[in-house]
Chains A and B, each alone.
Chain A
């Protein structure tokens, strides 16, 4: 049990996917200009990550022991098609949920955070429960980083920033400072 909590906290804060593994930077920089969009993208991301963890576990346990060299290709194909399938199901069952998350789902599937999650979970030999907790932590960490960034950017939009610095350069420097702040979490469990 303790292990699962540790995996969750580690993926959420200490090894935050965005701020210390640099995964999922494209949406992090692209879709973080408004708070509510950022939050919804984060939720959609948690959702896709949970599905990914499940798919990766199924593939690793039942298929890839016979053909390990197909790992990368099968991860991509299976994850992308599963997400697309679930997208269609949601559209039928819950149009409200689809409107909230739907437009982001295809975007997220090709995101490196998703593939990274599957690969990390495989490399560390996580079982099903560990994989799901890891996905939940990583997704929540991604949402946290995205929401923090969007909050800061909404404030910065009102500030008088030099013309040259506007856009990506500014966002990267903000991300650098956020990442520095998150480094403070590194000592979280070592003292206890």
Chain B
């Protein structure tokens, strides 16, 4: 991440896949496990986080010259809290049912360390354009991770996706998956899968280097 070249495309992909906030950096776990017992809740939570992250990255990056270094963390937190309050009230007005489902976890977006981390590590040091692209990438990565987790848990736990039954009435739902332990287990297994993918890629790269070196 040390390169300073402006490459919006790379910054976007970074958040979505290579440095995915959940699967690779393991950040922002608190809100993510609690609300991913169905795909629709996961999407709502992901959407709310998406808005908060992009908006606060934009504001922090635009104000970065005026924020004194000593109080920067508190400033970020207040900016984030403002946007979370906006999201909370908007969601309550537009989609009261979803808001009720998510309950206390909307205000808890403030405590999502992923958001604060992006302000400190990226938005406060880069141009507005790059900061927004980075936020878009990270937020999409977060949304993607939440949706994957929510979908897996809903499919296994209720045999349905978005409330539409998938396997017919004979399917015996794995109730444990929509209960808290299911969240821990699913995320654990997904992390395992991702570290397997990374390891495999590294092994392949090493093999490739060996092959190229050999004939000479």
Contacts and interface: CB of A to CB of B under 8 A. Distances in A.
Contacts of B30: 22-26, 112, 116
B191 A19 contact: no
A61 interface: no
A159 interface: no
Interface stretch (A32-40, A51-59, A71-79, A125-133): A71-79
Given A22-B30, A25-B33, A164-B196, A123 B176 contact: no
- Residue of B74, B78, B176, B180 with highest tally of chain A CB at under 10 A: B180
A72 to B, nearest CB: 5
A112 B181 contact: no
Contacts of A80: 74, 77
Given A115-B110, A179-B181, A173 B29 contact: no
B34 interface: yes
A22 B110 contact: no
B184 A172 contact: yes
Nearest to A175: B184
Contact of B181 (A25, A115, A168, A176): A176
Interface size on B, as a range, is 35 or more
Interface string B152-193: 000000000000000000000000100111111101110110
Contacts of B88: 72
Nearest to B108: A112
A31 interface: no
A66 interface: no
Contacts of B82: 73
A73 B199 CA distance: 43
Contact of A165 (B78, B111, B192): B192
A179 B113 CA distance: 23
15 contacts: A22-B30, A23-B30, A72-B81, A73-B85, A76-B77, A110-B111, A111-B111, A112-B108, A115-B108, A169-B195, A172-B184, A173-B184, A173-B185, A183-B179, A183-B180
Interface of A: 19-26, 29, 69, 71-73, 76-77, 80, 110-112, 114-116, 119-120, 123, 163-165, 167-173, 175-177, 179-180, 183
